[in-house]
Chains A and B, each alone.
Chain A
Amino acid sequence: MDARIVILGGGVGGTLAANILVGRLGHAATVTVVDPTGMHAYQPGFLYVALGQANGRWLGRDERTLLDKKVDLVIEIAERIDPVARTVRFASGGSIAYDYLILATGSRTVPEQVPGFIGAGQEFYSLTGALRLREELRRFKGGRILIGVTGIPYKCPPAPVEFTLMLEDQLRRRGLRDRSEVTLLSPLNRAFTVEAASKLVQPIMEKRGIKLSTFFNVDAVDPTRGIVSSIEGEEAAYDLLVLVPPHRGQTVIDASGLGDAGGWVPTDRNTLQHKQYERIYTIGDATDLPISKSGSTAHFQASIVASRIASLVKGQAPSATYEGRVMCFLETGDRRATTLRFDYAHPPVPPRPAVIWHAAKWMFNRMYWHTIPQGRVP
């Protein structure tokens, strides 16, 4: 009987893993992607939508158009995984059996967990949130803007810094900078977690008059007073509040007892196997690894997991291991960016922000639909 490989989630990781697997295994396996919507979102684009630099229309595609025709696509909500019987039950009542399961379920945002967030705070971690923020910024005529983080981990660690720098750029171009105060509330004692990147970014912030408030992890919002408070016991006042919402793993992980308290899946940092169930692999945001939750992480992990499973199906010992590879851009405004490339053994050494990296990011944004899901970029 053909090996049955089931992939939960049709984002960048799940789609790429499926396409690689059918390419390697042909008719030796059936590869099925289960996705709740059948639509694929290019999430890095939300930042640009919020800042009025991108049209929301180009951020979504029909998942079928990104999958090899040999991949079976099932549009269902996965409700519960039974790792012993090796089945996935759907909310509709049906189920699917697997020999190997890839959890590419991503993460979800839970702004309701922060008192006062909904209604008072803006966000750009969903298309709706980004569109709403874009319109809020169009109406903005000056005042105090705070950008903060309400939970860790969250997707795309550079995003709050990027948004801050790009927003300041926008306010200058609109002639609103003199009437505005921009403050980044950083969870850490510097602007960004990677010290080398902070050393590039902080002088830019200083030069542009962007304020930095350190060790400020947003805990709650008081809309009546226009105040945010931190878990460190401090407060800050706002007129416009932009927050990174808290993230959690998906409900199917919780419901199946496969995750930790945050719904993240306990994952081996090299093999990407579940720590208890060897036929379950996890990629991208869904893992509990303390590594960037980003599309590039999912991309690099997808090829490792696909290679390992393909070897096992062929009766060979799997040799591919994930060594912590991540690559991302960090926009610094004024049409410049830097890049962060690193793995477990090599910390990032970001180059000085330059126009070429911004152009590279734009090129990537444009080329994504034709390259990444299909595995045309290694």
Chain B
Amino acid sequence: MTLTETQITKTIDARGMACPGPLMTLIGAIRAGAVGDTFAVLSSDAGSKTDIPAWTTKAKHELIEVRSGDGYSTFIVRKAH
């Protein structure tokens, strides 16, 4: 499934937001969301490229896609359980 085909439940524009930051905000959204909800996180923080996939794997959610360009990355994550 690609970015354009995925139904996004909520987009989190965390570009330039150092604190609490993109991953923390994603964790909050996943905690509050329902199983199957899909979140798009926009991050300009270089650390997100390792942090977001690492947490998604550890917490057993699904990282559907990562797209980079224009000075930021977009992470599509689905709440799996």
The interface of chain A, by Cβ under 8 A from chain B, is 151-153, 157, 187-189, 193-195, 215, 217, 231-233, 260-262, 269, 289-292, 324, 326, 340, 342-345, 347-348
Would A157 and B19 count as touching, CB distance under 8 A? yes
Cβ-defined partner of A188 (8 Å) among B10, B18, B24, B60: B24
* Nearest CB in chain B: distance from A298 CB, A: 15
- List 16 A–B pairs whose Cβ atoms lie within 8 Å, in order of A's numbering: A151-B28, A152-B24, A153-B20, A157-B19, A157-B24, A187-B24, A189-B51, A193-B24, A194-B19, A217-B31, A232-B59, A232-B60, A260-B10, A326-B19, A342-B19, A345-B16
Secondary structure type dominating chain A contacts:
loop
Contacts of A290 in B (CB 8 A): 12-14, 17, 20-22, 24-25
Contacts of A344 in B (CB 8 A): 15-17
Complex Cα distance A291/B23, Å? 12
Contacts of B16 in A (CB 8 A): 324, 343-345
Would A153 and B25 count as touching, CB distance under 8 A? yes
The interface of chain B, by Cβ under 8 A from chain A, is 10, 12-25, 27-28, 31-33, 45, 47, 51, 54-55, 58-60
Complex Cα distance A19/B68, Å? 44
Contacts of A343 in B (CB 8 A): 16
Would A215 and B58 count as touching, CB distance under 8 A? yes
Would B60 and A292 count as touching, CB distance under 8 A? no
Contacts of B12 in A (CB 8 A): 290
Secondary structure type dominating chain B contacts:
mixed
Would A189 and B54 count as touching, CB distance under 8 A? yes
Would A187 and B19 count as touching, CB distance under 8 A? no
Closest A-chain residue to B41, C-beta based?
A290
Complex Cα distance A188/B21, Å? 10
Given contacts A157-B24, A217-B27, whether A342 and B54 have CB atoms under 8 Å apart is no
- Additional 20 contacts, C-beta under 8 A, given A215-B58, A292-B19: A151-B28, A153-B20, A153-B24, A157-B20, A189-B54, A193-B19, A193-B20, A193-B24, A194-B19, A195-B47, A217-B31, A217-B59, A261-B32, A289-B17, A290-B13, A290-B22, A291-B17, A326-B19, A342-B19, A345-B16
Would A188 and B19 count as touching, CB distance under 8 A? no
* Nearest CB in chain A: distance from B74 CB, A: 14
* Nearest CB in chain B: distance from A118 CB, A: 19
Closest A-chain residue to B34, C-beta based?
A261
Would B59 and A152 count as touching, CB distance under 8 A? no
Closest B-chain residue to A217, C-beta based?
B27
Would B59 and A342 count as touching, CB distance under 8 A? no
Contacts of B10 in A (CB 8 A): 260
Contacts of B58 in A (CB 8 A): 215, 232
Given contacts A292-B19, A342-B19, whether A152 and B55 have CB atoms under 8 Å apart is no
Contacts of A260 in B (CB 8 A): 10
Complex Cα distance A260/B28, Å? 13
* Nearest CB in chain A: distance from B71 CB, A: 11
Q: Which 6 A-B pairs have the closest CB atoms?
A: A152-B28, A344-B16, A290-B25, A193-B21, A290-B14, A157-B20
Would B25 and A152 count as touching, CB distance under 8 A? yes
Complex Cα distance A269/B14, Å? 10
